[in-house]
Amino acid sequence: MANHTVRVAIIGAGIGGLAAAIALTRIAGVQVTVFEQARHIAEVGAGFGVAPNGQRVLDRLGLLDETKLAGAVMEGPDLYRNADSRIIAEGAYSDSSGRYHTLGMHRADFVDMLTRQLPSGTVHTGHRLTSIRASDTSVRLEFENGTDAEFDAVVGADGIHSVVRESITQPSNPVYSGSIAYRGVLDASLLPKDWPMKIQIWMGKDKHFMCYPLRHRTLFNYVGFVSSDKPLKESWSAAGDVDELAAEFAGDGWDPRLREFIGRIDKTFWWGLYDREPLRNWTRGRVTLLGDAAHPMLPHAGQGVNQALEDSVTLAMFVGEVRNSNDIVTAFKRYTSARMQRTAIVQANSRRSGSQRDSQAEFEDLRRRDAEMRAGRDFRRSFIFDYDAAAVAQKYLTRSY
């Protein structure tokens, strides 16, 4: 375990930042302070899947049981459907061992659970970072509210618009996917009693719709992905129009049960879907990146949060080898080396999965789309779900540099 006098600042109190704070505290034993620009820690009313690879990290941190209590276990494999409801393929929802099964999780529930794991006073809200100045011996942070502080190291977990990233590498423009996501939650009691408690995805040309249970199966998360130029004209996100969402999936070509689901929705929001090209470097001296700040990815592989969890445990294991603050530079370099290739592959897979589900590019040939989806189940299980970030980090630690 690292020297407990090493001081690490984390910028951003989203899921990645909070998970990193817990990992650095429990595994590395360093002093952690988290700075969040918002006045209150909160997440929008939407869900995500805690995949087996993410659960393996939570298990390592002693958080899996509490996560399961807050989430919703899927009752079976994902179902990929054609627009008219015909089942095309079943997706992987567990790892090869069968020990970890995908959970549906409300973001607000997960953030609340993570926040409660940290000692009082760890998270400082209302701190918008304006300046980061690194020297050979420390990093000085300045905030919009007039405060400043000095640390031995800084971790940027401040998302796709990361301020910390600009101190490491030349800025690059976000890449718009051409699609937006209508998102929200629906009371499960509004659905037929036989509604499947699993991930279901309906796929059509240039659009697809997904839903799955959250919060003890009392809520359903939904996401409707549609091609749009809204973000280029308006903003990154905004309150959505339920009628517009319904119109996208209207008509006899779409499953009547899906149309029934959408007809129960009374509120929605839309987000433009962006990512960035993989970075060549995440680390500069005593400053490094984590999660969306390092590798923002489209949601189609369901791996944004899970990759941030993998980052967190990997980072903590390398920092755990630090004996004094001067070792931070080497620890950060090793962390970057261990993570960059995997996240770049997952980013690319996320883009490709979006094209598959929207029947675009080479997947306009539906026979090819369907065949690759069936074959993709094994890739998802072996490459993504079976991955053990802590075990990989441990192998890196045994190497000589």
- Choose, from 93, 100, 212, 222, the residue flagged as catalytic: 212
3-state secondary structure of 127: coil
Q: What is the dihedral of CA 113, 115, 118, 122, to 10 degrees?
A: 180
Task: Give, rounded to a whole angstrom, the gap between the first and last alpha carbons of the chain.
Answer: 20
- The structure tokens listed for 86 are 């015909």
Question: Could you tell me the maximum CA-CA distance found in the chain, to the nearest angstrom?
Answer: 66
- The structure tokens listed for 247 are 């119109």
Give every CB contact of residue 244 below 8 A, 6+ residues apart in sequence. 182
Alpha helices (H) along 81-226: 107-116
How many angstroms separate the CA atoms of 144 and 252, rounded? Answer: 54
Give every CB contact of residue 46 below 8 A, 6+ residues apart in sequence. 106, 107, 183, 184, 185, 221, 223, 269
Paired sense of beta strands 129-134 and 87-91, if any = unpaired
Q: What is the dihedral of CA 238, 242, 246, 247, to 10 degrees?
A: -70
Annotated catalytic residue 182: no
DSSP 26: I
How many angstroms separate the CA atoms of 218 and 8, rounded? Answer: 39
Q: So which residues are the catalytic ones?
A: 212
